[in-house]
A and B are shown apart, each in its own frame.
Chain A
Amino acid sequence: MHESILCVILYISMACPGERILALTEYIHAVNLSFSYQNEPEAPQVLKDVSLSVEKGSFVAVLGHNGSGKSTLAKHMNVILLPSGGSLFVNGMDTSLEEHLWEIRQQVGMVFQNPDNQLVATVVEEDVAFAPENMGVPPEEIRRRVEEALRTVGMWDFRDHAPHRLSGGQKQRIAIAGVLAMHPDCIVLDEPTAMLDPRGRREVLETIHRLNRESGMTVILITHYMDEAAQADRVVVMDSGTVIADGTPKEVFSQVELIRSAGLDVPQTTDLVHWLRTEKGLDLPADCLTVEEAADAVAKLFS
């Protein structure tokens, strides 16, 4: 039985190589993932039995308050942390097997919260070249990749600037370019906009949405900004180390009480419609997210 299945899989993968890619649309796959920082049995579990799949090419926002486990989950995705229980697969590779370590780290790039902590060089283009240099990419190819990455994030004109003189949003875009120069399949961003002003936030968000749309990059955005999550294909809400909601932004944000119980905000628009539904008993769609949707729904009450 077992062998026959293997044979069939082998047959499919040989006969139609494209099938393999189709079968692996689950790019990141967590199976009963648990994690605690200490080895003792009573140590607090930061992640409890998390099972989650992220499709290749999707844009997933992971929401949660501080301490909900969202960053810990993110750090498993490029093997900064290893599961205490369960497994995590990246593109079919088990992260706990050391032979996959470098492959996974090149395929999944990470961007962190503080723009000042992740730039290493004194010139922008040297900073972007850092990862491909370490990977042993030939110099000519490095030049090509650095230009491509800097153009993608709209920072090519700043290539010979000093990173410390740039704005926070610009620094984060350099950090993203540094990841892009590795040619990853997936980029995981851990609260990349938390320290930025509104303009910097917009720059970074536009950049990652464009990457997702135009290059098919899988994007996992860890955030506690609802408006950022509302723009994702899918929203995963974490609380106390577990996934408490998972769906489209409309599906998730319409569960106002659940979101609040997780220490998060709902957008003012959703809040208003929710109040009209629950306090005033009015028949309105629960999934109003944008200003237009909320205004249209309320306006209908008066028509």
Chain B
Amino acid sequence: MYAIEAQNLTYTYGIKTPFEKTAIRDVSVQIPAGEFVGVIGHTGSGKSTLIQHINGLLRPTSGKLLLNGKDIWENPKEIRKVRFSAGLVFQYPEHQLFETTVYKDIAFGPTNMGLSEEEVRLRVEEAAEFTGISSALMDQSPFELSGGQKRRVAIAGVIAMRPEVLILDEPTAGLDPRGRDKILDRLRRYHQAQKNTVLLVSHSMEDVAEYCTSALVMNRGTLFAYDTVENVFCRTEELEQMGLAIPAITQVFHRLAAAGIPVSRNVFTMDAAKQALSAALEGRGRNA
């Protein structure tokens, strides 16, 4: 059984209108529980359409979407429950903040789930802890916070529902490096603690290499690959043909390997690069 499984998923927008367009075609993928998946693809590749199926915002034109082995559209009246178990954080989620205090905003989701006040408080505190929102901020208006803080409050609002699957659509878009690192580090810690499934839609191959355990690549409405980050990034030429830039550090190692230096081509993160170069430099010392 998989946390998320798509079976021949196809979705067509605007059926029987002049704007009819098939956004995703025959996508089949099985994602085991506990993965931290980087979802990669150009704008228009179908990745947003795919993730909107996972929490039932879109209903497949054909094919199935299963969460924990269960077809989410088996009983359409129950679809609201799916939205609690698969939490979706949209792009620029801070635009959706609306409450008068940070606490109330984070509490909105769990309150709607019909939980007791005590349970809601517990979950709000837990979510604020995961996202690094200090208790001093709880009574402030969310609109007085910095951009990075607002976004973390919005993410906390989804985390507070304790979803089994957390999907984030470019959670670091528009943030500066400090804001980006803070969100990604917090997500990593959250994932390690909760051991749930996290999907991170990102344009940054560097971030996917650094944070994710597996990568899902969409291209022109079809699934190009779903595999470990290493196996996906090894297909450099194909990725580049799709216009997806591989990390700069990987490009450096490609050049080094091509120049006959004894290093692997498959180096995707700074840490791996440092290890690989340390080893190669030691080898150089012995040979000399």
Contact = CB atoms under 8 A, between A and B. Distances in A.
Q: Report whether chain A binds chain B.
A: yes
Interface of A: 65-67, 113, 167, 191, 194-195, 197-200, 224, 263-265, 267-269, 271-272, 275-276, 280, 291-292, 294-295, 298-299, 301-302
A291 B281 contact: no
Contacts of B259: 295, 299
Contacts of B148: 66
A67 B178 CA distance: 11
Contacts of A65: 176-179
Given A65-B179, A267-B248, 4 more contacts: A195-B173, A198-B203, A268-B206, A268-B249
Contacts of A268: 206, 247-249, 252, 270, 273
A37 to B, nearest CB: 14
Given A194-B174, A199-B42, A302 B261 contact: yes
B45 to A, nearest CB: 10
A195 B169 CA distance: 13
A298 B278 CA distance: 12
B284 interface: yes
A295 B178 CA distance: 28
B147 A272 contact: no
B147 A275 contact: no
B277 interface: yes
Contact of B179 (A66, A198, A276): A66
Contact of A292 (B243, B255, B274, B277): B255
A275 B255 contact: no
B79 interface: no
A272 B178 CA distance: 20
A271 B273 CA distance: 11
B43 A302 contact: no
A62 to B, nearest CB: 13
B255 A66 contact: no
A298 B256 contact: yes
B240 to A, nearest CB: 12
A275 B274 contact: yes
Interface residues of B, number: 34
B251 interface: yes
B7 to A, nearest CB: 29
A221 B230 CA distance: 35
Interface in B242-285: 243-245, 247-249, 251-252, 255-256, 259, 261, 270, 273-274, 277-278, 280-281, 284
Contact of A295 (B179, B252, B274): B252
Given A198-B203, A267-B248, A271-B270, A299 B176 contact: no
B228 to A, nearest CB: 21
Contact of A291 (B178, B252, B278): B252
A299 B147 contact: no
B175 interface: yes
A301 B281 contact: yes
B270 A66 contact: no
Interface in B124-161: 146-148
A167 B243 CA distance: 17
Contact of B176 (A66, A195, A271): A66
A158 B280 CA distance: 53
Nearest to A275: B274
B256 A295 contact: yes
B42 A269 contact: no
A271 B255 CA distance: 17
A198 B243 contact: yes
A295 B173 CA distance: 30
Contacts of A66: 146-148, 175-176, 178-179
Nearest to A198: B203
Contacts of A200: 43
B174 A299 contact: no
Interface in B163-184: 173-179
A106 B283 CA distance: 62
A263 B148 CA distance: 14
List the 5 closest pairs (A to B, CB-CB), nearest first: A295-B255, A65-B176, A194-B174, A263-B178, A268-B249
Contacts of B251: 291, 295
A263 B176 contact: yes
Contact of B174 (A195, A263, A275, A295): A195
